[in-house]
Homo-oligomer: A and B are copies of this chain.
């Protein structure tokens, strides 16, 4: 029986578990609820329970598991294996998550930031499988980032690197929750695109089919905007176009900086698929320099929300596989 690594993706609602082989082929994903009532100890017990279950389901003894990777929301102290704080999980404060899980499981554990783990998942088993250098943008509530360069995850000197959603793309632009202005995520996240659109609707009273949806639901989301656009709504089309153009502009900057093989889009907004990628590619070609032809491909992620668990297992392979 071949050896495997176990990956654990610690989310605010669910914990996902997977086992992968050295090539990145993944078992079925196991999903358990994130228990938060019993503090870090209860959470760690749930993580260990899930890891053992995924080992059982795949007929793996402890000897056949090279190591375990944990993708956790941050901020983390990767060297010490600590979760410094976690807004969604009460009681997590300088919690030695790596060693708590490792001691209970009796296996070596590697800790990684959840966004980086997801990027690494796409790198080893997803849209970036044939890439050396990869940039991942997660277009969800905010815009998260992950960068893999020659197989290594970019962390930064203080482990707060790859915060690609907080590149400044509009000087003195929209105020961001981080304290900056004009951050990429204010223009390109699913949530903030919808928020800005609702503010515009309130200020400009445009003729748009989105008015009825806003009235009925109390809010609109990025899917509503794209559906209105597809149905021929001119206001929604303008919003969608401006969003994809801002995103393309960010991709041009990331291409000049990293010159990656691929930029992979994931998160809620990436569910729009071709409706997102086609205008982004068109704007990218238009905005990209003319000094060289386009060599960086922009594409949609293939692992979706499983990337974090698969990437966490990949991180374990990276650390314990040799």
Residue numbers of A with Cβ under 8 A of B are 75, 131-133, 145, 147, 149-150, 152, 154-164, 166-171, 176, 178-181, 246, 249, 252-253, 256-261, 287-292, 295-296
Contacts and interface: CB of A to CB of B under 8 A. Distances in A.
A108 to B, nearest CB: 22
B178 A157 contact: no
Contact of A169 (B152, B168, B246, B260): B168
Given A167-B256, A167-B257, A169-B171, 7 more contacts: A131-B157, A149-B149, A154-B258, A156-B259, A166-B256, A179-B289, A257-B257
Contacts of A160: 259, 292, 295
B161 A154 contact: no
A120 B289 CA distance: 26
A288 B161 CA distance: 14
A259 B161 contact: yes
A194 to B, nearest CB: 21
A256 B143 CA distance: 13
A295 B75 CA distance: 15
List the number of copies, as a whole number.
2
A165 to B, nearest CB: 8
Nearest to A75: B292
25 contacts: A133-B157, A133-B161, A145-B257, A154-B258, A155-B259, A156-B259, A157-B259, A158-B295, A160-B295, A161-B257, A161-B259, A162-B259, A163-B257, A164-B256, A166-B256, A167-B253, A168-B169, A168-B252, A170-B171, A176-B289, A178-B291, A179-B288, A180-B252, A181-B287, A257-B257
B179 A291 contact: yes
Nearest to A133: B157
A222 B157 CA distance: 33
A259 to B, nearest CB: 2
A249 B183 CA distance: 11
Nearest to A154: B149
Contact of A157 (B166, B261, B288): B261
A295 to B, nearest CB: 5
A166 B291 CA distance: 11
Contacts of A287: 168, 180-181
